[in-house]
Amino acid sequence: MRKKILFLIIIVFSGILVAYSQEPKTILTPKPGPEPRINGAKIFGVRPGSPFLFTIPATGKRPMKYEALNLPAGLKCDPETGQIKGTLNKPGEYLTTFRVSNEVGSSKREFRIVCGDKLALTPHMGWNSWYVWENHVTDKIMRDAADAMVNSGMMDHGYMYVNIDDCWSAKPGATDSTLLVESHDKNGMINSNKKFPDMKALTDYIHLKGLKAGIYTSPGPFTCAGHVAIYGNEEKDIARFVEWGYDFLKYDWCSYSNIGRRDTLPDLQKPYIFISKILKKQKRDIVLNLCQYGMGKVWKWGKEVGGQSWRTADDLGGSFDGIGTALFRDGFDVYSRDSLHLYAGPGGWNDPDYLLLGYLSNWKGKTVPTPLTPDEQYTQVSLWSMVAAPLIFSGDITRLDDFTLSLLTNDEVIEVDQDPLGKPGYRVSKNGNMEVWVRQMEDGSHAVGLFNRGEKEIDVTAYWSDLGISGKQKARDLWRQKEIGGFKDKFTTRVSGHGVVMIRMWPLSEK
Ligand code: GLA
């Protein structure tokens, strides 16, 4: 009996301990109001002659009427869906104004369409299947993801790419019979496996919603998961991706090591130069994401070889329990050590990998909550936005709890990521566990991230002398979307362990 009571006490006590040690998931992002608000990118690049698709992202009570004033000839906006479609033939910069109205009111915002040879004028926003569905991704999963991007409202905040990662093609020698298909058809065009019965129908489904579709392959003969890849069939496979209607290609080094060398820069650049030449010939805009884990300091030449983004390090979620360590190492340290902010900008972005929030695969056949603490999750989204990284969520988009959704859809944080000036932020000071990062914004304001890499709560101070600003500044807390007053010379705030406070400051006249 005494043993039983002791056992019970231990159980109750450890329950209390666990409850206390789990950080609360505090939602800071205010819910969008009923009045219309236009979000996401303020600038968009397209090549002459390519099909154009951009959906005006806006929150507010439905139904909503969408207008794009002064659209250049060749483009039309659907008033019910906000989808702008058509083609532009003449290169140039076109200034249009979006107007969105509902029964509560209306709102306007300027939008620049740049028709030329540059794509990805702001970092990509979207979803990728890898970290949650890894090798069991299917057509249905991708369709559900597109539905969820619309129904969760993520699309109204600017998310637009729905990207399949590895595992959509044939896999020779697989035990799963759905992967044992002919790798190519009789015309030598690559086939999808039985999990993807009709790729064209899948991209049609995604496009109908006003979203864009992404695909994945490797320059080698096989992908990292052993599926058939592009080597030796590049022209035809790219033609196939165009025929299927893809808008984004992740090009993952993987088995290319068995084909080419990687001793010199030209070795590392060769497959990317080759593929981007083929992509440029297509009558469809396909954004190219270089995935080669940062080899040869890819940030220095990723843009030159035709990439619109390049992975800066190894897989952030390669080991489930190691995500937290990788976040600090690859996010903060790789970036600062090599001054990565010097190399990215409109048309080419540093990609420190996906947002590892919500439910992820634990690589043992289960989807489980992210191992990142709530503070670390705030840190990831804040840091990614400060450095103008692509915001590609890779957790289960069909299972978004309010907290995860709030992290993904804070429009004032997203505005920092998508700032049209495209100048990535950088670290201006490091003092033990305290780090201060700054990003210059197009309107003359500055976004500032005050990070605490230690486990205990501390005060972090941002000094104007470090930030390169002067005079009185009006500050706004971006996660809470609240004015926090005027400050001079410095700003100090309490920051929880592994957490962040993200603010934006505008100069105030001294009068
Ligand atoms: C590599 C990439 C990942 C993912 C997998 C797929 O590890 O870095 O992002 O694409 O391959 O096999």
Tell me the pLDDT tens digit for each residue of 54-65: 999 999 999 999
Q: Residue 254 Cα, ligand 1 centroid: separation in angstroms?
A: 8
Which residue's alpha carbon is nearest to atom 5 within ligand 1? 224
490, β-bridge pairs? 463
Does residue 176 carry a pLDDT above 60? Answer: yes
* pLDDT for 18: 43
Tokens for 375, please give them: 């503070």
Minimum-distance ligand 1 atom for the alpha carbon of 223: 12
Contact assessment for residue 206 and residue 146, using Cβ atoms and an 8 Å cutoff: yes
* pLDDT for 93: 98
* pLDDT for 299: 98
Distance of CA 327 to the CA centre of its chain: 15
Minimum-distance ligand 1 atom for the alpha carbon of 224: 12
Query: 4 pLDDT band (50/70/90 cuts)?
Result: low
Distance of CA 321 to the CA centre of its chain: 22
Question: Residues 6 or more apart from 375 whose CB is under 8 A from it?
Answer: 23, 496, 497, 498, 499, 500
Minimum-distance ligand 1 atom for the alpha carbon of 353: 9
Read off the pLDDT of each residue in 27-55 and give the average, rounded to a whole number.
Answer: 98
Tokens for 465, please give them: 């002398």
Structural domains in the chain, CATH included, are 37-115 (2.60.40.10), 125-417 (3.20.20.70), 426-507 (2.60.40.1180)
CB distance 315 to ligand 1 below 6 Å: yes
Which residue's alpha carbon is nearest to atom 1 within ligand 1? 224
Query: 509 pLDDT band (50/70/90 cuts)?
Result: confident
* pLDDT for 227: 98
Which residue's alpha carbon is nearest to atom 11 within ligand 1? 224
Ligand 1 binding pocket mutation candidate from 168, 255, 310, 315 (most atoms within 8 A of CB): 315
CB distance 165 to ligand 1 below 6 Å: yes
* pLDDT for 14: 47
Contact assessment for residue 474 and residue 508, using Cβ atoms and an 8 Å cutoff: yes
Q: Residue 224 Cα, ligand 1 centroid: separation in angstroms?
A: 6
Minimum-distance ligand 1 atom for the alpha carbon of 314: 8
Distance CA(291)–CA(439), nearest Å, equals 25
Does residue 422 carry a pLDDT above 60? Answer: yes
Ligand 1 binding pocket mutation candidate from 132, 134, 168, 224 (most atoms within 8 A of CB): 224
CB distance 166 to ligand 1 below 6 Å: yes
Query: 260 pLDDT band (50/70/90 cuts)?
Result: confident
Residues belonging to the active site: 252, 315
Q: Residue 313 Cα, ligand 1 centroid: separation in angstroms?
A: 12
CB distance 224 to ligand 1 below 6 Å: yes
DSSP character at residue 192: B
Q: Residue 290 Cα, ligand 1 centroid: separation in angstroms?
A: 11
Minimum-distance ligand 1 atom for the alpha carbon of 250: 10
Distance CA(380)–CA(386), nearest Å, equals 10
Read off the pLDDT of each residue in 14-27 and give the average, rounded to a whole number.
Answer: 63
Distance CA(434)–CA(426), nearest Å, equals 14
φ, ψ for residue 503, nearest 5 deg: -125, 170
Tokens for 411, please give them: 């429009």
Query: 23 pLDDT band (50/70/90 cuts)?
Result: confident
* pLDDT for 13: 46
Q: Residue 216 Cα, ligand 1 centroid: separation in angstroms?
A: 9
Distance CA(317)–CA(267), nearest Å, equals 27
pTM: 0.95
Which residue's alpha carbon is nearest to atom 9 within ligand 1? 315
φ, ψ for residue 166, nearest 5 deg: -60, 160
Tell me the pLDDT tens digit for each residue of 353-407: 999 999 999 999 999 999 999 999 999 999 999 999 999 999 999 999 999 999 9
* pLDDT for 2: 57
Tell me the pLDDT tens digit for each residue of 292-336: 999 999 999 999 999 999 999 999 999 999 999 999 999 999 999
Read off the pLDDT of each residue in 106-115 and give the average, rounded to a whole number.
Answer: 98
Read off the pLDDT of each residue in 462-480 and give the average, rounded to a whole number.
Answer: 98
Question: Residues 6 or more apart from 262 whose CB is under 8 A from it?
Answer: 268, 295, 296
Distance CA(75)–CA(3), nearest Å, equals 77
Helix 199-208 × helix 234-244 angle, to 10°: 50
Contact assessment for residue 244 and residue 216, using Cβ atoms and an 8 Å cutoff: no
Which residue's alpha carbon is nearest to atom 8 within ligand 1? 315
Contact assessment for residue 399 and residue 430, using Cβ atoms and an 8 Å cutoff: no
Q: Residue 284 Cα, ligand 1 centroid: separation in angstroms?
A: 25
Smallest CA-to-CA distance from 385 within 407, 415, 405 is with 415
Minimum-distance ligand 1 atom for the alpha carbon of 166: 6
* pLDDT for 20: 42
Q: Residue 139 Cα, ligand 1 centroid: separation in angstroms?
A: 19
Dihedral, 486, 489, 494, 498 alpha carbons, nearest 10: 120
Kindly write down the DSSP assignment for every residue of 67-95, as one continuous string: EEETPPTTEEE-TTT-EEEE---S-EEEE
CB distance 223 to ligand 1 below 6 Å: yes
CB distance 386 to ligand 1 below 6 Å: no
